[in-house]
Structure 1
């Protein structure tokens, strides 16, 4: 075997990582350098003796004396400093020393306006360089996440208001939205209702969508995620493209990094009109999800655009079988409605949150039909009238009701999977989300569960374990390492709300569908005893199929939009607008943190910042430049907060001196510097704790 290509590939990989690391170190160093350069330049202009110019703090690892100034690199890259005669944060006594003040080149001998200019120069330099970073970035073109909805969390305001995957947000409260980052900031930093303008299918909706964000981590949220494309990224291990045991693994040929799915061709019998189903174009995962959910019961040919050896794109047809649902041998009990979309068929029929569906066209959930299959049932009834029986709790007791509704024909069932153990299961075609209880309503005759015994009606499932059947032989599945046991808890936590007290069984059911190579261990209780039952093999449904066919959800490239100025004035205008927007966003973020409207855990320390910078640098130099612009504005604003030791604290003392015509006493300065040092060290410890123990950095 020729190992030279492998060795060369490893060398290039290491060199690429080293180049990225050096770019990050250089970029972060430049942000600090420009800040200190501002202090240094104005100090020199004011004829102040600068003793040391240091990038980094702590012990010096390199220095060079040039003229009267020592230029140094210090061991901790957490900042920098310009040490001037008469101004030393580590020795605040210099600020009030009359002996030093007699030296005409000392900092303390200068007028208040001169000292204000020196102190504010670092902040102004960061604002200026941040503006230039933005302008240069937009001149070259910046790729940012597109303001396109990739998914909507069931029960959240966006879902209830009717936002859909694939919608493009164009404005929030009349402010233009250029990227998903703009959208996130507009939501996070807002107050009150949001008026959202949306393009759907290339056309603007006639009226804006009005909704009220809810409190979530790290702040206000409407429950949307960014869009991803159908292009497979350049991942290191192609084995991770397909999850073990899923339909994609059984495709006619393997999917490869760089492949882009451009269409789907449903196979099988003609449709109800006797016509062959045409090719369905797809560009986003939202498109892929909709088509696969609509034709889940059909084998599918994926039309894949792939670059050939000569670099030209070719279209490859890859056949993928259906993905049958794994059945457990029992049905769970129907739970209440948890969410309803406005203006949906469910809302128009008079259904309300808290109602419980008792029958659908005479079929009772839990007795005649699996509650989990209701999304599929309604999806197949698109355009037809469905009769729904329901119960409703009132002050006078429980009442029964009946209504008729017509499901939307263009929204198939099980297109939206619960994303947490408390998320409702949605019926997209009628705009309703409901809970499936985690206790058994019916044991299916002849099932493995019936043969094992021990489980019966009203038995509560408290946890599911997914275990590999033959440890040591498993390929990676949806859970990553197939050898590691996976637990799906279905019991409420200590601080659970009323809704969380009974987690949604639909979430666990959806999760276990994605790991067909694992056996199930059911943990249960029936009010008297607790126990477990192990299901080695699960039977497959005959007429119920998943839209998920086994792609690893982490392989897809994000949908991005190129923001590029067409002229130098436009680049400068965009740079100025972005500087203003970032500064205002930081101010609002700080205000909301003080008001506990944004979680403190959203902060990042040195490790978190370096990690973000590395990820950004991997995407390209321009993206790193824009990130450094954001970091520069952050440094400018945070450094000008009225905290002793920081520039803002020095400015407070100078304002006091300018107003009272006398310097603060040495006692006040010493106490203020001590308090400032304690605060900054505490903040550093806190953000480092977030980096290592909260964010996983």
Structure 2
């Protein structure tokens, strides 16, 4: 009986291994085909020109398999980093053959052929890659290609997109009047652009009357506006359902477990309505995580019923109602000091009221942040004041000293409280309803009476928190939380990054506060300094706020399926047209990328070597054959362009020598050829080492 119980598990493991093996074979075959077609181009034209081809090899280095047919040896070599066609009179490992008069006397040698014939042989590999890339694209679009939709899933606070007013859920339709079909198009348009960008946006199904104009900033790997792609409310087919809910969060306490394949289609806030009539709040439809976030932030203080579309045993969808409790904020027993404003959105209530970057909010409706109200709760305060006038007192540094000011503003009633989490230790905390991002300092402004911190002692006003450690209370008994294995200690360092600007010199406490809310099963170790001494204090159990709740209820953010758009040609001519347009676009993008790398506008770390390419190919192949086909098309165009760069040993380097010979009517000297080949070999080997270093130590691919 025990053996039978384990049989389904064993069968599942076998099918999983077979599936992985199939994907690996598809990747190996696909990458091999790209190389094969390149070398086939050289081979076919060489034969057409009656050149003696000694060897046709896929891969380089020692030969692991070969077969002699006629005068040509067909081989597989150990290193799958390329391939080669070895012709009489042309050997990259022996450049002397190119200038040998004895070999040139053989009418079937490469060197005996005319310059146009040799140019045709050299360029044939590149042309074959362009042709096959075009065919890969055309076949892909004929079958239909799923690509990330050009929909904004999130906007990084303080980045140009946030400042310009782009929102999660916006669909980008054009950049600088060039149509945008996918998020990849959007990324390329931003990364490879120069100057300002004019972005056309659809919001809520309607086009905004005017394009949004913004200037990208320099980031890694290049220019950025601070947007991420959208994800849907559909849970992916993950292997372990335990990963769906983070330990200790509200989702774990749901009335019923969420399952892989579930799709959240709506939310029903529970409890009494906030309106005067006391009517029940209607169901809120959701499709993207951006929709989910907005509804949960608006009704964070309410129990929520999730309307979940789930496929039944017969494959038909049914709607399941799952009740999820509220997620109270864990309070630490102290408030931190208010910091300055770091970012303001254009045309926002904050901008219209005259607030500026660098100002510090001193009071809100008479409540002083750090004394009368927790600075971290300001997004919630303003969110609850939507449509009402709020009075803000602020201080501003001027050349003549610090001045005090006052303004009035009306928060946007359509934007709730805290729904944008800081994504780094230096990112500002935003107040969506007024379009403002601010910093919370990492030193204490107030110890709350009766709190655990007060009882422990050692911490006081102006004490600086330098680091937080999150430790599991009972090691060995925990399940995965927001950081995976709950037994693993988590450190939240409150220090600026290596590349932080002067404005980011101090970390934002809001980031650490947001992170620790996601692991309620852990105790906190506070590392502090007060100017004289350093020390630690451990908080075992954190109390819960009575009237402050998180929009985050504990879903693992990695479980969601990406929002995708199906690009499919309606006819063969349209497929060919799309294939040609994509070939042109990819080629132009590669050219601009190379140009910007030379100009140091794009980081060299964005390159991928053989390992990186294989990893990307594997991930693409997991999504399907058509997606792999399109990736191979991109790789083919890459190979064509890079191979035709004027670098000795590469096809482009050979073409330079042929151009020289055609113009001067004489071949380059053996000394020039030897030095050029040596330099080319050193360059290529150095480049290979560099990209391999990126693959293993830098890039997450």
Tell me, what secondary structure is at the counterpart of 1:218? Answer: coil
> When the two structures are aligned, how many residues end up with a matched partner?
696
CA distance in 1, matches of 2:261, 2:696: 33
1:22 corresponds to 2:25: yes
Moved over 6 A (4+): none
Tell me, what secondary structure is at the counterpart of 2:504? Answer: coil
Q: Deviations over 1:330-380 (max 9, x none)?
A: 000000000000000000000000000000000000000000000000000
| Displacement of 1:274 | 1.9
Tell me, what secondary structure is at the counterpart of 2:406? Answer: strand
| Displacement of 1:7 | 1.8
Q: Deviations over 1:600-656 (max 9, x none)?
A: 101000000000000000000000000000000000000000000000000000000
Q: Deviations over 1:535-576 (max 9, x none)?
A: 000000000000000000000000000000000000000000
| Displacement of 1:151 | 0.1
CA distance in 1, matches of 2:456, 2:663: 86
CA contact (8 A) 1:215 1:221 kept: yes
Q: Normalising by the residue count of structure 2, what TM-score does the alignment of the two structures yield?
A: 0.99
Q: Normalising by the residue count of structure 1, what TM-score does the alignment of the two structures yield?
A: 0.99
Q: Deviations over 1:172-195 (max 9, x none)?
A: 000000000000000000000000
Q: Deviations over 1:173-221 (max 9, x none)?
A: 0000000000000000000000000000000000000000000000000
CA-atom RMSD in angstroms = 0.8
CA contact (8 A) 2:411 2:433 kept: yes
CA distance in 1, matches of 2:8, 2:251: 30
CA contact (8 A) 1:44 1:50 kept: yes
1:677 corresponds to 2:681: yes
Unpaired runs of 5+ in structure 1? Answer: none
Map of 1:546 onto structure 2: 550
Q: Deviations over 1:86-105 (max 9, x none)?
A: 00000000000000000000
The correspondence for 2:220, drawn from 204, 217, 220, is 217
CA contact (8 A) 2:339 2:439 kept: yes
CA contact (8 A) 1:340 1:353 kept: yes
The correspondence for 1:237, drawn from 222, 229, 240, is 240
CA contact (8 A) 1:521 1:534 kept: yes
| Displacement of 1:78 | 0.4
Q: Which moved more, 1:186-195 or 1:12-21?
A: 12-21
CA distance in 2, matches of 1:646, 1:553: 45
CA contact (8 A) 2:58 2:80 kept: yes
The correspondence for 1:642, drawn from 638, 643, 646, is 646
CA distance in 2, matches of 1:140, 1:98: 53
Unpaired runs of 5+ in structure 2? Answer: none
CA contact (8 A) 1:422 1:499 kept: no
CA distance in 2, matches of 1:301, 1:565: 41
| Displacement of 1:275 | 1.4
Q: Which moved more, 1:474-483 or 1:139-148?
A: 474-483
C-alpha spacing 1:527/1:160, structure 2 compared with 1 (3 Å): same
| Displacement of 1:495 | 5.8
Map of 1:447 onto structure 2: 451
| Displacement of 1:273 | 3.5
CA distance in 2, matches of 1:397, 1:305: 60
Tell me, what secondary structure is at the counterpart of 1:317? Answer: strand
CA distance in 1, matches of 2:608, 2:279: 57
Q: Deviations over 1:260-300 (max 9, x none)?
A: 0000000000x343211000000000000000000000000
| Displacement of 1:493 | 5.2
CA distance in 1, matches of 2:503, 2:450: 34
CA distance in 1, matches of 2:159, 2:37: 44
| Displacement of 1:498 | 2.1
| Displacement of 1:494 | 6.1
| Displacement of 1:3 | 2.3
CA contact (8 A) 2:426 2:496 kept: no
CA distance in 2, matches of 1:497, 1:614: 37
Map of 1:415 onto structure 2: 419
CA distance in 1, matches of 2:460, 2:177: 57
Tell me, what secondary structure is at the counterpart of 1:3? Answer: helix
C-alpha spacing 1:371/1:681, structure 2 compared with 1 (3 Å): same
Map of 1:578 onto structure 2: 582
